[in-house]
Amino acid sequence: MSRPPLPGAPHLAWGPAGLSLDGQALDALATEHGTPLYVYSRPAMRAALAPYQRALAGRAHLVCYAMKANSNLAVLQTFAQAGCGFDIVSGGELARVRAAGGDPAKVVFSGLGKTRAEMAQALDAGIKCFNVESEAELDVLSDVAAASGRRAPVSLRVNPDVDARTHPYISTGLKGNKFGIAHTRALAAYRHAASLPGLQVVGIDCHIGSQITEIAPYLDALDRVLDLVEAIEAAGIPLHHLDLGGGLGITYTDEQPPGADALIAALLAKLDARGHGGRELLFEPGRSLVGNAGVLLTEVLYLKPGEDKNFCVVDAAMNDLMRPALYEAVMGIVPLRPRADGTPELRCDVVGPVCESGDWLGRDRSLAVQAGDRLAVLSAGAYGMAMASNYNSRGRPAELLLLDDGRAVQVRAREPVESLCALERLPDA
């Protein structure tokens, strides 16, 4: 039986014991730790970070891991130890950065709904910058900072109205998206920010979407941002850094995104050509650092043939991995140990136990499996466990991290049923 290509190779590979990650047999890990189970590779994360760091060597820069992709503390520690900063979108994420040993002075705080309490928390921590997404937010942040006798460092997230040519749910740079300040309003917003007593303008920010597989949208957005930079500085407002966002895609099936080094080289060339190469550059990659560094392991519970469609029922569900149901995302699904006993392939939907018709992990897959076999959902390191829930009162999976020395360390325990009710209270009768 032919074996499909593996996004995440060479860390993910076929071996005598079936599918392995960093040389660890995944079927053995599933036996030891149970399923559903997320497994991540620390060496794969570092390998994904390396082209960013190589391409930016010699430039003033900061790579801020967009931790919404995967906020496990061990993942954050991996990037903190590699010198990264962090792109956060909540006070809870800031608390996680600090718990993992990250430096708050390397944190940028994005998101369009920051509360006063979160602003105060970030000011107290001494973060690098607030990426502000509305003029109303400028006023509130200035009030919060001035009340404590401080000035908040800010950049404005500008919406350049550029089509990233990605799924509409993860496109963020069009004028119809909720994110950022409209390109046409940006200069006025910067003038307003510079007039407020509690703010210090330090940069400009742009992020056009996620799972982007072409360089052209980035270059289009950069041209529009640089036009604004020149207009803003002509108005007497200096900008220290350019935050060019993240969103670089990965290979899930047959996508062919550019490498991070190729993308950055193209951006640097444009910056240099337009005379802006000396500024500090910030990037906010998330998916491209962790997506292909992780897999979700699941066990086949039942094969259910039907008149119109066959189903492979597994013990992982939409509460464990939301991407297929939310985005109709297509992710590779392969048996951990391909059968050699002549079991025929079944064309089927891979579905979970949750009581929703949208509870599927893969549609129309050809799998030669029987009940008790295990499968790997590939490219599951980003927006997997980070989006997991307790829907249907299901405990969330355990998480393992494979270290450089070959050890497999459990970095999050499986959620026990007792914890599901731990924060609830029955009223007195």
Indicate the range of 82-96, 204-218, 348-362, 365-379 predicted with least confidence.
Answer: 204-218
The confidence band for 429, taking pLDDT boundaries of 50, 70 and 90, is: low
Question: What is the structure's pLDDT at 175?
Answer: 53
pLDDT, tens only, 251-276? 999 999 999 999 999 999 999 999 99
* Distance linking the first and last C-alpha atoms of the chain: 63
- 415 appears as a binding residue in the annotation: no
Question: What is the structure's pLDDT at 160?
Answer: 85
The confidence band for 174, taking pLDDT boundaries of 50, 70 and 90, is: very low
Question: What is the structure's pLDDT at 162?
Answer: 75
Contact of 216 with 162, CB cutoff 8 Å: no
- 383 appears as a binding residue in the annotation: yes
Domain boundaries, the chain: 12-41+291-421, 110-285
pLDDT, tens only, 61-118? 999 999 999 999 999 999 999 999 999 999 999 999 999 999 999 999 999 999 999 9
Question: What is the structure's pLDDT at 209?
Answer: 85
- 286 appears as a binding residue in the annotation: yes
The structure tokens 């860390």 sit at: 11
Q: Phi-psi bin for 42: left (phi > 0), alpha (psi -120 to 50), beta?
A: alpha
The confidence band for 208, taking pLDDT boundaries of 50, 70 and 90, is: confident
Give the three-state DSSP class for 281: strand
List beta partners, residue 298.
375
- 247 appears as a binding residue in the annotation: yes
Q: Do domains 12-41+291-421 and 110-285 have the same CATH topology?
A: no
Give the three-state DSSP class for 239: coil
Determine the average pLDDT of the residues in 58-63. 97
User: What contacts 36, CB < 8 A, 6 or more positions away?
Assistant: 296, 297, 298, 315, 316, 317, 320, 397
- The DSSP letter of residue 179 is S
Size (the chain), residues: 429
Determine the average pLDDT of the residues in 359-372. 97
Determine the average pLDDT of the residues in 192-221. 94
Contact of 121 with 91, CB cutoff 8 Å: yes
The confidence band for 210, taking pLDDT boundaries of 50, 70 and 90, is: confident
CATH number assigned to the domain covering 12-41+291-421: 2.40.37.10
Question: What is the structure's pLDDT at 172?
Answer: 46
Give the three-state DSSP class for 200: strand
pLDDT, tens only, 240-252? 999 999 999 999 9
Q: Could you give the angle at the alpha carbon of 150 between the alpha carbons of 146 and 154, nearest 5°?
A: 90
CATH T-level topology, domain 110-285? TIM Barrel (3.20.20)
Question: What is the structure's pLDDT at 176?
Answer: 58
Report the b/e string of 96-131 with b at 16+ CB within 10 A.
Answer: bbeebebbbebbbbbbbebeeebbbbbbebebbbbb
What are the C-alpha distances in Å from 68 to residues 165, 244, 387?
A: 21, 17, 9
Instruction: Tell the burial category of 25 from Cβ atoms under 10 Å away from its Cβ (0-12, 13-18, 19+).
Output: middle
- pLDDT at 389 exceeding the cut of 80: yes
Give the three-state DSSP class for 304: strand
Nearest of 240, 328, 228 to residue 280 by alpha carbon: 240
pTM, two decimal places? 0.94
- pLDDT at 148 exceeding the cut of 80: yes
User: What contacts 58, CB < 8 A, 6 or more positions away?
Assistant: none
User: How far is residue 407's CA from residue 401's CA, in Å, rounded to a whole number?
Assistant: 8
Q: DSSP for 383-425?
A: SSGGG---GGGPPPPEEEEE-TTS-EEEEEPPPPGGGGGTT--
Contact of 287 with 293, CB cutoff 8 Å: no
Catalytic residues: 355
pLDDT, tens only, 5-36? 799 999 999 999 999 999 999 999 999 999 99
pLDDT, tens only, 396-423? 999 999 999 999 999 999 999 999 999 9
List the 12-15 sheet strands across, edge first. Answer: 12-15, 18-21, 24-25
Instruction: Tell the burial category of 308 from Cβ atoms under 10 Å away from its Cβ (0-12, 13-18, 19+).
Output: exposed
User: How far is residue 109's CA from residue 245's CA, in Å, rounded to a whole number?
Assistant: 12
- 323 appears as a binding residue in the annotation: yes
Mean pLDDT (the chain) is 94
The confidence band for 178, taking pLDDT boundaries of 50, 70 and 90, is: low
The confidence band for 307, taking pLDDT boundaries of 50, 70 and 90, is: confident
Q: Which two tokens stand for residue 181?
A: 């300040």
Q: Which two tokens stand for residue 120?
A: 């105060």
Nearest of 267, 280, 263, 279 to residue 64 by alpha carbon: 280
